[in-house]
Structure 1
Amino acid sequence: MSMGSCDINALKLMKKGSVPGMDMAGTVMKCSTGMWKEGDRVCGMLLGGLSSTIVDKKMLDRYGMQGSCATYCRTQCDMICKVPETMPFEEACCMPCCMMMSFQAFNLKTWPYSNKSHEPILVLGAGTSLGLMTCQLGSMMGYKIMAVCEMTEMADVMSFGAEKTFDCNDPQIVEKIMKATQNALTMAMDCSSTDSSLAIAAKCMGSSGGTICCFPLMMMSAGGKTEELMTMDDDSKMETMMEKTMGINMHNIKIVRKLPTTMFGFDAEMMGCMFKPMPDETKHAHAFLKTFSTWMAEGKMKVLPSQMAQNQGMKNLILCMEECKSGGSKMMCKRLVCAMGETGPSV
């Protein structure tokens, strides 16, 4: 399994009995539907600390959904995908969570999807693990990726598919982005989800407006006005608050918050906000996972930066999590890999 900033933030939501961890790779032990056979190599996203947000606990018990910090995991058979024999589990376990969160954020109406008009899309926090994967997925679908990151992250961001990068500390960043997008930007993915990055995204929107997608799991550690924004029980209230407290014109600009629970078909409540399941989103996620598996087999997926934890195995899990937590901002940019068993977790 691997962990990063999303996993650490999700710990704040956990209740007694919850198992953390959102990324896993391992071998199948048993599948009740026959979709997988014993010994199949698979990877997938689990809900980890987000299991505490599920409203219907009977649904949670039915699927046995918990996290990847375990020797054995249980999940929905159509929410995992095949790992090629040539890919080590240490690499495979670094991708599912960020890939699925990124896929969800694009809010596609169908899959497969190709953006034939090569529309520009702004990715903020592009140097984070989630940001890198969003750049990669967007580029593979045909979007023109405009990426905001630190100067030291620009080479990595470009290698994951960004067409142009912008220094997040540049005081003229808004003007430069608007010039590069010809005042026609209609979509932004805010993988930092701080009040400053949300403000940049809103100011860069074209004259016809657009949509900004942000991630509650990232907002939890952002501080500032962001934590207050996160508690708004409706996306439209976030837009109103940004207009009032930040002085930003939000006319025709829509903010959308995405939580992975909806892809699994669960109702969830997080910080007073309700997240309803979306059947179409779940259907597209199932189809996308098959494509994701093909991409891995064809060597098209660039693996996220990672490092092996100093402390391995279940007995050192707490030390591994402390290592991830103490990494601070560095762990936003890479995954920390930890083996729960000799051959990885079983599913």
Structure 2
Amino acid sequence: MVEPGAGEIAIHTRAIAVNPFDRAIRAVGDIITPWIGYPAIVGSDVAGEVVAIGTGVSRFEVGDRVLGFAAGSERGHRAAEGAYQTRVVLQEHVTSRIPDALSFEAACVLPLAIATASAALFQQDFLAMRPPSDGAAPTGATLLVWGGSTSVGCNAIQLAVAAGYDVIATASPRNHDYLGKLGARLVFDRNDPNAVASIIKALQGRRTCGAIAIGSGSTRACIDIVAASEGERFVAMVTPPTSFDAVPAGRGRWRTLLPVLVSMVIGNVRLAIRARRKGVRTKFVWGGSPVGNEVGPMVFEAFLPTALAEGRYQAAPRAEIVGDGLEAIPAALERQRRGVSASKLVVTV
């Protein structure tokens, strides 16, 4: 059993959420996370009770209820920091205390999603937006969130609003009211063939701070919109142009992996050409980067605990419990592969 070191805590796991990133590691981890040694313990989203505290930790005590970004899949971190186990070591600066009224199941949907959204919005090499705070004054700028009902989208909306920005988002019509409750000013149907033109029209006379692109086809749409609008011409890309879902883990994967890689390269080149032609900058977001920069403590220490306690921030999207015990994780990942909408799949422990 690994004990927490300096700046770390250990928790007893109560709930874990699954992510597409976890499936990608299982299938193509040697390509996207070559630093991971195998066998490995993955998973990023976890909530539980503090059971041990390392040196230098002042924000937590044994027994505290917390959520945390499990950094086991990040470069330089250990298997003890992966979420898919009953005891997880967490970095203090990417861990937040949760209020008694918030269940572990609801809380565990947040870590990777809020980290990814925060990286896109607040890192200086991305949109470099103003940090979230209590009672932030309006900036007069508008953020476009394409894919607002996704886990990252729900958090990008709330973070941007908390930082004083207007938000225009896209989602299926059934999720429009939900995104409005999270703070989006306008929500458009992402499947409407006129969505791009409608959003460009809605942005007339307004200054954009850029866009965050989530989901299939999102980057192309965002490039066209910010190119036709006033303000920052930057698109933070969360979703690659090709999915790894068709690639099986283990033997035989190279027969399906090679076409996927070729498709991804072609898709990236096409997007780069389109962006360059329209004068738009694009960059892929790495969701774990706040573990190693100022954005992690900005959100997990300075903002999120108080915002959750005061009800100014929602644990979004909704948690859908799909099993109990670590043995339920493979089935949860398979169900996640088939698609979810405005929810995140959670396993209790």
Give your verdict on TM over 0.5.
yes
Aligned to 2:40: 18
Residue 146 of structure 1 aligns to a residue whose secondary structure is strand
What's 2:77 paired with? 60
Residue 183 of structure 2 aligns to a residue in which SS? coil
Question: What TM-score results when the alignment is normalised by the length of structure 1?
Answer: 0.77
What is the alpha-carbon distance in structure 1 between the residues aligned to residue 203 and residue 43 of structure 2?
Answer: 38
Instruction: Report the Cα distance in structure 2 between the residues aligned to 1:249 and 1:222, rounded to whole angstroms.
Output: 29
Question: What letter is aligned with 2:339?
Answer: S
Asked if 1:334 is matched to 2:343, the reply is yes
**Residue number in structure 2 paired with 1:271:** none
Please say if residues 307 and 334 of structure 1, whose CA atoms lie closer than 8 Å, have aligned partners that are also in contact. yes
1:293 to 300, 305, 310: 305
1:201 maps onto 2:222 in alignment:
yes
Is 2:236 the partner of 1:213?
yes
**Compared CA separation, residues 112 and 171, structure 1 to 2 (3 A):** closer
Show the counterpart of 2:254. Answer: none
| Counterparts of residues 159-198 of structure 1 (less than 5 Å) | 159-182=181-204, 184-192=207-215, 194=216, 196-198=217-219
Give the C-alpha shift of residue 117 in structure 1: 2.3
Kept after mapping to 2: 8 A contact 1:5/1:218: no
Per the alignment, in what secondary structure is the counterpart of residue 293 of structure 1? Answer: helix
Match of 2:291 among 260, 264, 270: 264
Contact 1:202–1:250 (Cα < 8 Å) also in 2: no
Q: Any conservation in 1 of the 2:118–2:295 contact (CA below 8 Å)?
A: no
- Do structure 1's residue 315 and structure 2's residue 327 form an aligned pair? yes
SS of the equivalent of 1:103 reads helix
Asked if structure 2 preserves the Cα contact closer than 8 Å seen for 1:209 and 1:252, the reply is no
1:1-347 equivalences in 2 (<5 Å)? 1-14=16-29, 16-33=38-55, 34-35=57-58, 36-47=60-71, 50-51=73-74, 54=75, 59-61=76-78, 66-108=81-123, 111=131, 114=136, 116-182=138-204, 184-192=207-215, 194=216, 196-205=217-226, 206=229, 210-215=233-238, 220-221=243-244, 238=268, 241-242=270-271, 244=273, 250-265=277-292, 282-290=293-301, 291-303=303-315, 304-309=317-322, 311-325=323-337, 328-330=338-340, 332-340=341-349
Q: Which residue of 2 aligns with 1:345?
A: none
Name the SS of the counterpart of 1:106 in structure 2.
helix
TM-score, normalisation: structure 2: 0.76
Letter in 2 for 1:242: L
In 2: Cα distance, 1:217 partner to 1:67 partner:
24
Where does structure 1 lack aligned partners over 5 or more consecutive residues? 266-281, 341-347
How far did residue 329 of structure 1 move? 2.1
Moved more, 204-213 or 173-182: 204-213
What is the CA deviation profile of residues 101-139 of structure 1, one whole-angstrom value per residue up to 9, with x for unaligned ones?
Answer: 111110355645646323111100112121112112112
Percentage of pairs with the same residue? 20
2:85 counterpart SS class: coil
Is contact 2:275-2:282 (8 Å) kept?
Answer: no
* Aligned-residue offset at 1:210: 0.7
1:220 to 1:10, Cα distance in 2 relative to 1, 3 A: farther
Q: Distance in 2 between matches of 1:146 and 1:20?
A: 34
Structure 2 alignment gaps of length 5 or more: 1-15, 31-37, 125-129, 247-258
Q: CA RMSD in A?
A: 2.9
Which one-letter code corresponds to 2:184 in the other structure? A
Q: 1:299 to 1:229 in 2, by over 3 A?
A: farther
Which amino acid is 1:263 matched to?
A: P
Structure 1 residues 78, 308: closer, same or farther in 2, change over 3 A? same
**1:142, 1:179 → 2: CA distance?**
22
CA-to-aligned-CA distance 1:300-338 (integer Å, 9 cap, x gap): 2222212111x311233333333333xx222x5311111
Matched residue of 2:174: which SS?
Answer: helix
Residues 1:112 and 1:243: Cα distance change in structure 2 (over 3 Å): closer
Q: Compare the two structures and name the one with the higher strand fraction.
A: 2
Q: Is the contact made by 1:312 and 1:320 (CA closer than 8 Å) also made in structure 2?
A: no
In structure 2, relative to structure 1, the CA distance for the partners of 1:264 and 1:148 (3 Å cut) is: same
Q: Is the 8 A contact 2:70 2:81 kept in 1?
A: yes
Deviations 1:62-101 (A, max 9, x none): xx55321100111212221111222211111111221111
Corresponding residue SS for 2:81: coil
| Counterpart-to-counterpart distance in 2, 1:180 and 1:226 | 36
Contact 1:26–1:89 (CA under 8 A) maintained in structure 2: yes
- CA 1:211–1:219 in 2, change beyond 3 Å: closer, same or farther? farther
Read off the aligned partner of 2:119 and give its amino acid letter.
Q
Question: What amino acid is the match of 1:72?
Answer: R
Residues 1:218 and 1:157: Cα distance change in structure 2 (over 3 Å): farther
Q: In the comparison of the two structures, how many residue pairs are matched?
A: 301
